């Protein structure tokens, strides 16, 4: 056999082996996807990638495709916080469909005795955060997705370092991907002052304990186990700061005091324990083993969502809120790529003559999600929903208000990544006064909106339509 013939045979054998290997990898990955019982759209999106380009699709799936990772479930404390001594909510609240749906799927029950102050603009949010940091005497617990590597992020690190030097126990947990650019040196002043800074599931080097796809998108700040700030704002200049900024996002959050703070602390404890391998009971005892005292009359339910929750209580709560609506459903979100159940539930309510109103940014900071949302918006518009596009700046707030009686806000966007992949946190409000206040805030947003008018698909818009179709196809992965 000549060398040329031998080379051809060798090449043919390797080509055959690669083909068989790719086929086997695709079969393995598809079997794993089907066993996870994902949403159909998510399954199809990953399945097409694996079948059409297995050498790329399979590695990407193994790296980014996990959702409810079994190894993660074993290693991470489940978030189903309970707090002894918390005031019980009214029986009517505990028996409401929304509370029952979330409790049965892994959430804690609503608790009474709380007080809440909404943080509408970034300057108020920064002032509140600064005041709470400066007033803390014992502990500061903060989780953020993004820590800005600029003047606002630096100011927050400096504030925390001051309190750490004063003897306050400061713990800062940042997501490994969202805060990737905020390297170790950036937070060194806080470490030097005695504070602790930890990255949640670092991606460089890749963490081997779970999928790099699972990101901690929660935004939590707890002070002295007595008050907490929670919402959609990251710790960066785009979200908050001491002075107004033209390009600052419009966002939403709240300062909470009362027993619900103890439940928010429990979510932080579980995340910190996983990221550091420290004993969660020791962490609880160090901060405070008791329930924060009642300080008001607002009934709140802390709902965690993500791989560390047995079911999908945050998603179930949203579905239940929509389906139980008698008059109105108002949704404020930066990104809108719902699954089939949420989309159909909204369409049914709109067709039934209910006030279904969506408030979205006219153009978000992620162009691909704007393409992906187009078909969803056309369907809702045809069903009778009112879609309002916010023009002044990027709208980053996440909230839902139903019948002006119950409301939900937190870190979760109205998209499939937030609802089925990320670690998220939400707070349901079962007090009408506060729900009405949130509705008025949403109505104020509408004053700066224009009404959505769908643009039909046209032959000469081939590439625009193709981008829309492809974006919607991969919407479950965004």
Report the pLDDT value the prediction gives residue 160, as an integer from 0 to 100: 98
Map out the domains of the chain as residue ranges.
3-65, 73-93+111-296, 313-477
| Residue listed under structure tokens 């399945």 | 47
Read off the tokens for 390.
Answer: 């916010």
How far is residue 208 from each of residues 66, 197, 301, 421, 477, measured CA to CA in Å? 12, 20, 34, 17, 21
H helix count then E strand count, the chain = 17, 17
**Residue 471 near residue 464 (C-beta atoms within 8 A):** no
pLDDT by residue for the chain (478 residues), tens only, comes to 555 544 544 555 555 444 545 555 555 554 554 455 445 555 555 555 555 555 455 454 444 455 444 455 445 555 655 667 778 889 999 999 999 999 998 899 999 999 999 999 999 999 999 999 999 999 999 999 999 999 999 999 999 999 999 999 999 999 988 887 777 799 999 999 999 999 998 775 545 444 556 789 999 999 999 999 999 999 999 999 999 999 999 999 999 999 999 999 999 999 999 999 899 888 888 887 688 999 999 999 999 998 888 889 999 999 999 999 999 999 999 999 999 999 999 999 999 999 999 999 999 998 889 989 999 999 999 999 999 999 999 999 999 999 999 999 999 999 988 888 899 999 999 999 999 999 999 999 999 999 999 876 555 554 555 555 555 555 555 5
b (16+ CB within 10 A) / e for 272-292: bbbbeeeeeeebbeebbeebb
Report the pLDDT value the prediction gives residue 327, as an integer from 0 to 100: 98
Report the pLDDT value the prediction gives residue 43, as an integer from 0 to 100: 53
Which alpha helices (DSSP H) does 66-115 contain, by range?
70-75, 91-94, 97-103
> What pairs with residue 395 in β-bridges?
250
Report the pLDDT value the prediction gives residue 8, as an integer from 0 to 100: 45
Q: Which residues contact 306 (CB under 8 A, 6 or more apart)?
A: 79, 214, 421, 422, 423, 424
| Residue listed under structure tokens 């609802």 | 419
The domain defined by 313-477 carries CATH number 2.60.120.920: no
Q: Tell me how far apart the alpha carbons of residues 33 and 72 are, in angstroms, rounded to a whole number.
A: 17
73-93+111-296 matches 313-477 in fold: yes
Fold for the domain defined by 73-93+111-296 = Endonuclease; Chain A (3.30.870)
Count other C-beta atoms under 10 Å from residue 51's C-beta: 12
How far is residue 214 from each of residues 44, 183, 288, measured CA to CA in Å? 19, 20, 29
Q: Tell me how far apart the alpha carbons of residues 90 and 74 are, in angstroms, rounded to a whole number.
A: 35
């Amino acid at each position: 056999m000549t060398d040329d013939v031998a080379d051809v045979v060798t090449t043919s054998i390797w080509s055959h082996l690669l083909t068989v290997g790719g086929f086997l990898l695709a079969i393995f990955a598809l079997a794993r996807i089907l066993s996870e019982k994902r949403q159909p759209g998510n399954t199809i999106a990953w399945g097409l990638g694996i079948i059409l380009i297995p050498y790329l699709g399979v590695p990407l799936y193994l790296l980014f495709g996990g959702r409810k990772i079994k190894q993660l479930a074993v290693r991470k404390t489940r978030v189903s916080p309970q707090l002894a001594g918390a005031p019980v909510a009214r029986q009517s609240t505990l028996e409401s469909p929304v509370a029952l749906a979330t409790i049965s799927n892994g959430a804690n029950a609503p608790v009474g005795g709380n007080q809440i102050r909404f943080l509408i603009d970034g300057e108020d949010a920064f002032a509140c955060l600064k005041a709470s940091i400066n007033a803390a005497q014992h502990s500061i617990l903060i989780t953020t997705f993004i820590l800005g590597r600029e003047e606002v992020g630096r100011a927050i690190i400096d504030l925390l370092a001051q309190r750490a030097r004063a003897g306050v126990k400061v713990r800062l947990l940042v997501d490994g991907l969202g805060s990737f650019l905020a390297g170790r040196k950036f937070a060194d002043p806080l470490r030097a002052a005695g504070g602790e800074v930890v990255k949640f599931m670092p991606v460089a080097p890749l963490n081997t304990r779970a999928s790099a796809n699972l990101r901690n998108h929660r935004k939590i700040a707890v002070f002295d186990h007595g008050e907490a700030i929670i919402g959609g704002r990251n710790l960066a200049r785009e979200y908050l700061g001491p002075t107004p900024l033209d390009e600052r996002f419009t966002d939403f959050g709240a300062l909470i005091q009362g027993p619900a703070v103890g439940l928010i602390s429990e979510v932080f404890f579980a995340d910190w324990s996983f990221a550091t391998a420290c004993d969660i009971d020791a962490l609880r005892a160090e901060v405070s083993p008791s329930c924060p005292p009642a300080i008001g009359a607002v009934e709140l339910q802390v709902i965690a969502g993500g791989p560390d929750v047995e079911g999908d209580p945050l998603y179930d709560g949203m579905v239940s809120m929509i389906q139980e609506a008698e008059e109105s459903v108002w949704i404020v979100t930066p990104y809108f790529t719902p699954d089939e159940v949420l989309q159909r539930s909204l369409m049914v309510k709109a067709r039934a003559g209910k006030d279904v109103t969506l408030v979205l940014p006219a153009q978000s900071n992620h162009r691909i999600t704007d393409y992906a949302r187009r078909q969803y918006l056309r369907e809702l518009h045809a069903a009778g929903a009112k879609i309002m596009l916010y023009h002044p700046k990027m709208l980053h707030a996440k909230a839902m208000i139903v019948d002006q009686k119950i409301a939900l806000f937190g870190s979760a966007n109205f998209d499939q990544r937030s609802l089925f992949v990320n670690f998220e946190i939400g707070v349901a409000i079962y007090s009408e006064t506060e729900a009405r206040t949130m509705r008025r805030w949403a109505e104020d947003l509408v004053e700066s909106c224009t009404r959505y008018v769908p643009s039909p698909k046209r032959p000469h818009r081939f590439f625009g339509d193709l981008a829309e179709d492809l974006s919607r196809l991969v919407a479950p992965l965004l």
